[in-house]
Structure 1
């Protein structure tokens, strides 16, 4: 599973099963068929529901890399398909960040269904609040209609913004941090194949 720590506002929009997952849909069935992982380095995201231009938008950030995702103009059916929307936003934002085939293949290996709870870190929530302000400014400055964008470019733009993380001296660059994580995972996979 991929843990998603949701703010109360987002949590209340989701219809979850007893184990905190979204019901299986035709577009997310393939995620549920993947084998379970003891430790998933792609797990650990925070999600926040915001209203921009009178539309529901979900902003997400990966806890350790602060890699951002923007899911704009969501309707009720989109919340039921949050697994699909998450995967779509993640893979396409990686592409916009210059990810190679190795990055994308590695990310695909670790994709799993979301498991949602409300345990939130104030530090990561601070990043989400800053992302919201920056994205709102981008919408205004570039005169963008939120209903007409995918969010991939916005996510890539936010990924190229340094973030401060509690307990770290240096700023974190989300794009570099996520691509480095995927490169490290690709090398581990390659090393394991060599051993076998």
Structure 2
């Protein structure tokens, strides 16, 4: 599973099972059929529901890399299909950030259904609040209509913005941090394949 720490507004919008997962749908069934991973390095996301141009939008960020996702203009069926929307937005935002085939194949290897709780970190919530302000400014400055957006370009633009992380002296560049994580995971997988026990 991929842990998603949702703010109260987002958590209340989701219909979850007793395990904190979204019910499987025809579009997300394949995620539930993948084998479990004890420690998933892609796990650990925060999500926040915001209203922009009178539309529901979800902003997400990966805890350790601060890699951002923008899911704009969501309707009620989109919340039921949040697993599918997450996968689509994550993979396409990676593409917009210059990810190559190795990055994408590695990301796909670790994709699992979202498991949602409401345990949020104030540090990561601070990043989400900054993302909202920056995205709102972009919408206004570039006169963008949120209903016409996929969110991929906005996510890639936000990924190229440095983030400060509580307890770290250096700033984090989300795009570089996520691509580096995927490269490291690809190297680890290659090593395991070449050196089976």
Q: Please tell me the TM-score bracket, short chain as reference.
A: over 0.9
Number of equivalent positions: 196
- The normalised TM-score by structure 2 is 0.99
**Separation (CA, whole Å) in 2 of partners of 1:117 and 1:174:** 23
Q: Which residue of structure 1 lines up, in the alignment, with residue 111 of structure 2?
A: 111
For residues 48 and 91 of structure 1, what CA distance do their matches in structure 2 show?
Answer: 19
Shift of 1:33: 0.2
Looking at structure 2, the residues matched to 173 and 140 of structure 1 have their Cα atoms a distance apart, in angstroms, of 24
Work out the CA distance in 2 between the residues paired with 1:152 and 1:186: 23
What is the correspondence of 1:78-157 to structure 2 with a 5 Å cutoff? 78-157=78-157
Matched, 1:172 2:172: yes
Gaps of 5+ in 1: none
Partners of 2:123 and 2:149 in 1: CA distance: 28
User: Who is 1:58 aligned against?
Assistant: 58
CA distance in 1, matches of 2:19, 2:190: 33
Aligned match of 1:43? 43
Task: State the TM-score, normalized to the length of structure 1.
Answer: 1.00
Query: Offset at 1:59?
Result: 0.0
Counterpart Cα distance in 2 of 1:184 and 1:167? 23
Equivalents in 1 of 2:187, 2:27: separation in Å?
30
Is the counterpart of residue 3 in structure 1 residue 6 in structure 2? no
